[in-house]
Structure 1
Amino acid sequence: MGGVGKTTLLTHINNKFLVSSTDFDCVIWIVVSKDLQLEKIQEIVGKKVGLLDGDSWKNKNSEEKALEIFRFLSKKKFVLLLDDKWERVDLNKGLFVCGLVEANKNFKVECLSDNDAWELLRQK
C-alpha cells in the first residue's frame, strides 16, 4: 500500500520520541527494503543499541547476535519502527515474543478517504 504516508508518519513518531522525554530507553528505526537481509537488520539494531564491539560482534553468527540483541532489549523499554516492509510478517510466533517484551499496542494504518486526503493536501 504505497503513498498513504506511512514513512511520513513514522518520521514524525521517530522525531517525537527522539526530542521529547519518554519512558523509552531507545528508538530503533529500520528501513526493511525488499532485499534487506537478516544480518543487516541485526547490524542496524546492534549499532543503535551499542552492541557493536569490534571483532567480537563480527565473529558471531546470526543466532548469537539475535540472542545478544534479545538479552539486551529484554531489559529495556524500546520502540522498534519498521519502514518499507514488503512482505507480510507472521505474527503468530511474534505475538508470543511481543508478550515477552510487553509490546501490547497495535496500530493499523489504513488509507485516508478521498475527502480526508484532499484536506490533508490543502493543509500543506
Structure 2
Amino acid sequence: MGMYGMGGVGKTTLLMQINNKFSEERCGFDFVIWVVVSKELHVEKIQDEIAQKVGLDGEVGEKKEEKTIDLYNFLKKKRFVLFLDDIWEKVDLTEIGVPFPAPENRCKVVFTTRPRRMFA
C-alpha cells in the first residue's frame, strides 16, 4: 500500500500511527519494521536498519550483496510488515533482500512518497 502527497499533509504521521498500532498488537506479524528512506536512496542503510530491527544486527554480511542474501533468507521464513517512509525514488525490494509481498507469505509493505509517479 502506498500513500502519496505533498510535504506536510500528514503522510508520515498517519504511517507512524499505523506502525505504532501494529507494534503494540502485532496483528499476527513476527516483525513490524519502520525505516525512513529519505531523498537519497542508500540500500545498505536500509538493509542495516532492517537487520537491526529483526535482531540480525552483526549477523549479516558486510557487502551489500551478502546483506541481500542474508536478509532474504531470514525474512522469507517470517511474516512481517515493512513501513518505508519518505521514498523519493523507486525502491527495489529484491535488491534490499525483502521478499516480495504475496498472499502466500502474508507479508505487507507500506510506504509514503511525494511523487505520484511512484505508483506507475
TM-score, normalized by length of structure 1? 0.68
Q: Which residue of 2 aligns with 1:22?
A: 27
Contact 2:31 2:80 in 1 (8 A): yes
User: Which whole-Å CA distance do the structure 2 matches of 1:46 and 1:37 have between them?
Assistant: 14
Which structure 1 residue ranges, 4+ long, deviate > 6 Å from structure 2? Answer: 104-109
Structure 1 gap ranges (5+): 110-124
The offset of 1:105, in angstroms, is 8.2
Q: How is 1:61-72 mapped onto 2 (pairs within 5 angstroms)?
A: 61-72=63-74
Match of 1:80 among 82, 95, 111: 82
Alpha carbon RMSD of aligned pairs, Å?
Answer: 3.1
Q: How is 1:49-68 mapped onto 2 (pairs within 5 angstroms)?
A: 49-53=54-58, 57=60, 60-68=62-70
Greater share of strand? 2
Sort the Cα spacing of 1:44 and 1:36 in 2 relative to 1 into closer, same or farther, 3 A.
same
TM-score, normalized by length of structure 2? 0.70
User: Which whole-Å CA distance do the structure 2 matches of 1:104 and 1:33 have between them?
Assistant: 20
Match of 1:6 among 6, 11, 14: 11
Structure 2 gap ranges (5+): 1-5, 94-98, 114-120
Greater share of helix? 1
Amino acid at match of 2:63: N
